[in-house]
A and B are shown apart, each in its own frame.
Chain A
Amino acid sequence: MKSKAADFLIYDEASGTYKENPEQAVRDDVEKHYWLHVGRTILKDWRLYLMLIPMILVFLFWRYFPMYELLGCFKVSDEVLPVSEQLFSGFSYFKRLLVGGDDLSAEFWRAMRNTFILSFYGLCFGFPMPIILALFFNEVKSNIARSVYQVLTYLPKFMSTVVMTSLVVMLVKQGSLTSGMGIVSQALSSLGWISADVAKSGMLNNPAFFRPIYIISGIWEGAGYDSIVFFAAIIAISPTSYEAAQIDGAGKWAQMRYVVLPSILATIVIMLITRIGSLLNIGYEKVLLLYNTNTYVTADVVSTFAQRYGLGGAAKGIASAAEMMNNVVGMLLVIGANTIARKASDVSLY
């Protein structure tokens, strides 16, 4: 069948995109045979579409199919049957978690609260550090010295979570018959910052220390690397701005306040919004590697809760439901943050 509208899409040189053919006869024809035309356009350019296929399949199989499995949180029987054959249970798992009134529900709420607290502390203490570091880097005028500082401070970022947590475990571990206390516990207890009993029984076994350890190791790991983007914004400031401020009699603090801060404010806002967007994406690996039964009170987050019940135990529906709630809230935060960023700065993050 020879269609009148073989070229229902016309290449538009100016914008470099395809436009629909404006001719009325063509438009009528297109309306009738839309998919045929789409098929023809794809066939003409089949190499391009062939290139897409591996990527689409990979994401479909291992990112989108799990989302289908997620439907298990609405189904009644756990794990024995495939999701499609399970009976619909509605929101019973959600109800159980949210208003169950039993231990499980209390544990879920504790995990929810810990997730929020950990991410909130991470934001409060972790976010300003890279900015401060970038300001300091800017003071180091010698290129060699600055490179040395940068190389050293980026270093922890390249260590795996396992190595990083192993180091933390070793540095703050309890003493025993055959091995000394971790060097950090030793130092803190001899400084009198923590009691000798606490140091002896191991800081990672004490719920009061989980959050500080998590946050401080996070800063240790990421602050140097995260400062890159702020430092790039600071060195982009023209030297004439400083000179003008100096002529007006601005000291260092005034220069910070009126030259540097306004210039990097846009970067700060964007990074802040990004951070808020990923607020609930607590790195579960790190929690999993650092926590133990003694510290569940402060350390257990939703992902580790789900991991314990879903992978360790057999309550897959319950675990999926818990993660579903966490991830939906997380997604709303991302979309909200992105919308605000778009409105505030015309920069869309995704």
Chain B
Amino acid sequence: MKRKLEVSELIFKIISYTLLTVFALACLYPFVYAISAAISGRSAVEYGEIVLFPKAIQFDAFKRMFSDNMFWNAYSNTLFITFYGTIWALLYSILGAYALSKKRLLFRKFFNFFLVFTMWFAAGIVPQYLNYLDTQKVFQAIGITDDKWLVVIAMGMAAMNIILLRNAFEGVPSEIEEAAIVDGASEFQVLTKVYLPMSKSTIATVALFFGISRWNGYFWARQMISNSNEHPLQVFIRLRLEEFTDAEAMAGWNQPYASDSVIYALIVCSIVPILIIYPFIQKYFAKGTNVGGVKE
């Protein structure tokens, strides 16, 4: 009996480790391959000789990209959208979630439904597009001609994030709030001095959700930003991939790198910032999904 038990556990353990290793490597491989292909020499890439490690290393593909002003432009646009977009979204989400977390709020059920309904039903791409066109007109009429502000202000709202915040605020013990009120704190002070410090990790999680979705935003940015100087990085990458034709590749025949390498270099550059901060933010994301099971 004892013997059989050990065997079945051992088998399962071996299977687990093997498949986990395979899957983990499969998750990592495309990135490693992209780096290798970006820094490999021309013929190695063109004849498909790269499997894992780079061959005939060159950094000219990266150099070419770094010397491209449009690339830096796109990068700074993405930083702009991510920074202001996250702050703006956090601002109205925290204020709204705080009000919603108060049981004394009149029509609380209605406001909750107002939010939750947007998770059930979306108008769809075409009405949203018409709406953004109108918004654009309004923005231009009041003097905001930079479409990045349209992306920052009018996009990226997520009812789910507000509900996460609301649940966190509801979990703050009311005794602490009462103590603060007795000490003469105003409503706003209660929020900033009591609620915010006590739900730091949820706020960090939500900020990261907003931040990542802003960093990664593509479709609406491409639809609404017509000026290519204002394109964020994701749009820039995609346009490069689409323009990438044989004709263009032939034009660079005397370069030390293959035309593919430029695309790979672009991909690598766009994921490096995420790879750098990823180990630090990873635990907040794990937390975020665990509090995802919400109830009303």
Give the distance to chain B from A162, nearest Cβ to Cβ, in Å.
4
A contacts with B: majority SS: helix
Quick check: B123 and A179 within 8 Å, CB to CB?
no
Tell me the A30-56 residues at the B interface (CB within 8 Å): 38, 41-42, 45, 47-49, 51-52, 54-56
Interface members, chain B 257-288 (any A CB < 8 Å): 258-260, 263-264, 267, 270-271, 274, 278-279, 282, 285-286
The answer on a CB contact under 8 Å between A154 and B125 is no
Q: Nearest-CB distance from A264 to chain B (Å)?
A: 13
The 8 Å CB contact of B234, one of A162, A224, A334, is A162
A63–B118 CB distance below 8 A: yes
Say yes or no for A193: interface residue by CB 8 A criterion.
no
Q: Chain B residues near A207: list those with CB within 8 A.
A: none
Q: Is the CB of B246 within 8 A of A176?
A: yes
Contacting pair B250 A62 (CB below 8 A): no
A285 x B218 contact (CB < 8 A): yes
B17 engages A59 (CB within 8 Å): no
In the assembled complex, which residues on chain A have CB atoms less than 8 Å from the CB atom of B16? 135-136, 139-140
A69 to chain B, nearest CB (A): 4
How many pairs of residues, A versus B, come closer than 8 Å at their CB atoms? 297
A151 touching B92 in the complex, CB below 8 Å, given contacts A17-B104, A70-B123, A140-B16: no
Q: Is A166 a contact of B238 with CB atoms below 8 Å?
A: yes
Picked from A48, A72, A334, the residue with its CB within 8 Å of the CB of B105 is A48
Is the pair A51, B219 in contact by a Cβ cutoff of 8 Å?
no
Contacts of A104 in B (CB 8 A): none
Q: Which of B11, B91, B295 has the most CB of A within 10 A?
A: B295
B126 touching A310, Cβ below 8 Å:
yes
Within 8 A of B (CB), among A291-350: 303, 306-307, 310-311, 316, 319-320, 323-324, 326-328, 330-331, 334-335, 347-350
**Which residues of chain A have C-beta atoms less than 8 A from B286's C-beta?**
154, 228
> Is B181 in contact with chain A by the CB < 8 A criterion?
no
Contacts of A181 in B (CB 8 A): 48
B79-97 CB mask vs A (1 if < 8 Å, else 0) is: 0000000000001110111
Q: Chain A, interface size: which category? A: 35 or more
B241 interfacial contact with A, CB 8 Å: yes
With A59-B114, A153-B27 in contact, do A229 and B290 touch (Cβ < 8 Å)? yes
Enumerate chain B residues within 8 angstroms of A17, measured Cβ to Cβ.
103-104
Contact between chains at B131 and A62 (CB < 8 Å): yes
Q: Is the CB of A70 within 8 A of B124?
A: yes
Provide the bound-state CA to CA distance between A169 and B28, in Å.
Answer: 17
Known: A136-B20, A251-B9. A42 touches B106 (CB 8 A): yes
**Chain B nearest CB: distance from A122 CB in Å?**
18
Question: Is residue B243 within 8 Å, beta carbon to beta carbon, of the partner chain?
Answer: no
User: In this complex, what residue of A is CB-closest to B155?
Assistant: A62
- CB contacts (< 8 Å) of B216 on chain A: these are 159-162
Per-residue 0/1 for B179-222: is the Cβ within 8 Å of any A Cβ (1 yes, 0 no)? 00000001110010000000000000000000010011011000
- Which label, helix, strand, loop or mixed, suits the secondary structure of the B interface? helix
CB distance from A194 to the nearest CB of B (A): 15
- Asked whether, in the complex, the Cβ of A167 is within 8 Å of the Cβ of B157, the reply is no
B99 within 8 A of A: yes
Instruction: Decide yes or no whether A183 CB sits under 8 A from chain B.
Output: yes
Residue pair B104, A45 in contact (C-beta under 8 Å): yes
Residues of chain A within 8 A (CB-CB) of B111 are 52, 56
Q: Are A137 and B20 in contact (CB under 8 A)?
A: yes
**A129 to chain B: closest residue by CB:** B23
Complex-state Cα separation, A226 to B223, whole angstroms? 30
CA distance A181 to B122 in the complex (A): 40
Q: Does B128 touch A at the CB level, under 8 Å? A: yes
Query: Is B142 in contact with chain A by the CB < 8 A criterion?
Result: no
Chain B residues with Cβ below 8 Å from A88 are none
Question: Which residue of B5, B20, B237, B267 is within 8 Å of A246 (Cβ)?
Answer: B5
The interface residues of chain B lying within 8 Å CB-to-CB of A55 are 92-93, 95-97, 162
Q: Is the CB of B9 within 8 A of A319?
A: no
Interface residues of A in 119-176 (CB under 8 A from B): 133, 135-137, 139-140, 148-163, 166-167, 169-171, 175-176
The reply to whether the CB of B141 lies closer than 8 angstroms to some CB of chain A is: no
Q: Are A158 and B212 also in contact (CB < 8 A) when A163-B267, A183-B33 are?
A: yes
Query: Are A178 and B46 in contact (CB-based, < 8 A)?
Result: yes
Q: Which of B99-123 contact A (CB under 8 A)?
A: 99-100, 102-106, 111, 114-116, 118-123
Tell me the minimal C-beta distance from B274 to chain A in angstroms: 5
Q: For residue A150, which residues in chain B have a CB less than 8 angstroms away from its CB?
A: 282
Q: By the criterion CB–CB under 8 Å, are A179 and B104 in contact?
A: no
A177–chain B nearest beta-carbon distance, Å:
6
- Across the interface, A334 reaches (CB within 8 A) one of B120, B259, B285, B295, namely B120
Complex Cα spacing A151 to B267, Å: 20
A258 at the interface (CB under 8 A from B): no
**Nearest B residue to A187, CB-CB:** B51
Kindly list the 3 A-B residue pairs having the minimum CB-CB distance in the complex, ordered from nearest: A55-B96, A180-B48, A323-B124
- Known contacts A63-B122, A69-B123, A311-B223; can you find 6 more A-B pairs with CB under 8 A? A51-B96, A153-B27, A163-B234, A228-B289, A253-B8, A327-B124
Question: 8 pairs across A/B with beta carbons < 8 Å?
Answer: A52-B96, A52-B111, A55-B93, A63-B123, A158-B212, A170-B267, A288-B219, A316-B130
Chain B contacts to A: CB under 8 angstroms? 1, 4-5, 8-9, 11-13, 16-17, 19-21, 23-28, 30-31, 33-34, 37, 45-51, 91-93, 95-100, 102-106, 111, 114-116, 118-132, 134-135, 154-155, 157, 159, 162-163, 174, 186-188, 191, 212, 215-216, 218-219, 223, 234-235, 237-238, 241, 246, 249-250, 253, 258-260, 263-264, 267, 270-271, 274, 278-279, 282, 285-286, 289-290, 292-296
